[in-house]
Amino acid sequence: MGAQLRIYRRRMRSVKATKKITKAMELISASRIVKAQQRVAASSPYATELTRAVSALATFSNVEHPLTAAVTDAKRAAVLIIASDRGMAGAYASNAIKEGDQLTSLLKSRGLEVDHYLVGRKALNYYRFRNRPIAASWTGFSDNPTYDNAKEIADTVIASFLQETGADELHIIFTEFVSMITQRPLAKRMLPLEVVESSKPPADGPLPLYEFEPSAADVLDALLPRYVESRIFNALLQSAASEHAARRRAMKSATDNAEELIKSLTRRANAARQAEITQEISEIVGGADALASATTGGE
C-alpha cells in the first residue's frame, strides 16, 4: 500500500469518527428542543397573568416604587447577558455577546457606567480573556435552567438595583426562539418597569379588576420581584431552546460536511489505489518484456 493511500484512509477513519460524534449531538439536541419548547409554553400562562396583574396595579394605583420610578439623572446601568456553557452551537453565543457589546456602547454613549452580569461560560470566558470587570456570573445550567436559577439571578440584580449607589437601569440580553431555523438575540429593558398607556384594548382582553389587600404598596412589593423573576426565567428558557436549535443546526451542517469530505476522500483513495495498480501492472509488464528480451538475446 502506497503512502498516499494510507494518508487518505487515515483521514477517512478520522472523519468517520467525527461524523459519528456530530450525528449523535444532532440527535440529542433535536430531542431536547421539544422539551425546551414545552417548558417555554408551560411558563407562558404564569408570566402572562403576572404581567397583567403588575400592569393593572401600576396603572390603577398611584403608588411609587423604586422598581417603577425612572431616574432622570441615571449614572449606572446593569446588563444581564445570557449565553451558553458549551460550544458547538454555531454563532449562538457570539451573537448574544455581540448584542451585549452593542448595548454597552449605547449605554456608555449616554454617559452611564455599565455593570455586567453574565450567564454561561462562553460569556464569562469572553469577558475574562479581555480583562473586563464582571459584577456577577452564573454557569452550569444554560441548557436546562430552573426557576431557582432565575430567582438567584433576580435577587442579585434587584439587590443591586435597590442600592443607593447601584444600577439605575437593568437590561437583559437573551436569544428569542422563533423557530427551528430562526433565533434572534434581543435586548430589553426590565427595570425601571415601563407602563405604556394606550387607548386600545389589550390584545388578550381587558384587564381584570383587582382588589389590593392589605395595600397597593405591599402588593407591589411582592409582585414586582416575582415579575422580574418570571421575565428572567422566560429569557433563560428561550435561550435554552435557542441553544439546542442552534446546536442541532450546526451539528447537522457538520455531519453533512463530513459526508461530503468522506466522498471526496473515497474518490481520491480510489484514484490513488488505481494508480498503484496501474504502476504494478506496468512494472510486471516491463519486467516480463526485459526477461523476454534477455532470453531472446541469449539464444
Give the single-character DSSP code of 194.
P
C-alpha pair distances (Å), 234 with each of 6, 113, 249: 53, 27, 23
Q: Strand 169-177 relative to strand 183-191: parallel, antiparallel, unpaired?
A: antiparallel
pLDDT at 199: 47
pLDDT at 90: 87
**273 within domain boundaries:** no
- Enter the pTM of the model: 0.81
**278 within domain boundaries:** no
pLDDT at 182: 86
**93 within domain boundaries:** yes
**289 within domain boundaries:** no
pLDDT at 236: 93
Residue 139 CA to residue 51 CA, distance in Å, equals 28
pLDDT at 194: 60
Beta bridge partners of 79: 116, 171
Highest mean pLDDT, choosing among 44-48, 61-65, 150-154, 286-290: 150-154
Dihedral over alpha carbons 284, 288, 290, 294 (to 10 degrees): 150
pLDDT at 5: 83
**260 within domain boundaries:** no
Give pLDDT tens digits for 40-83. Answer: 888 878 877 887 777 777 666 666 666 666 677 788 899 999 99
Cell numbers describing residue 164: 443607593
**17 within domain boundaries:** no
Residue 275 or 125, more confident: 125
* 3-state per-residue secondary structure call for 197-245: CCCCCCCCCCCCCCCCCCCHHHHHHHHHHHHHHHHHHHHHHHHHHHHHH
Residue 88 CA to residue 122 CA, distance in Å, equals 11
pLDDT at 80: 94
**150 within domain boundaries:** yes
pLDDT at 104: 93
Give pLDDT tens digits for 11-51. Answer: 999 999 999 999 999 999 888 888 888 888 888 788 778 87
- Residue 214: count of CB within 10 angstroms of its CB: 7
Q: What is the CATH number of the domain that holds 246?
A: 3.40.1380.10
Cell numbers describing residue 82: 445570557
Tell me the torsion sign for CA atoms 198, 201, 204, 206. positive
Domain count for the chain, please give it: 1
pLDDT at 246: 92
Give pLDDT tens digits for 185-237. Answer: 999 888 777 654 444 555 555 655 667 777 777 777 778 888 889 889 999 99
Task: Give residue 54's domain range.
Answer: 26-195+204-251
**119 within domain boundaries:** yes
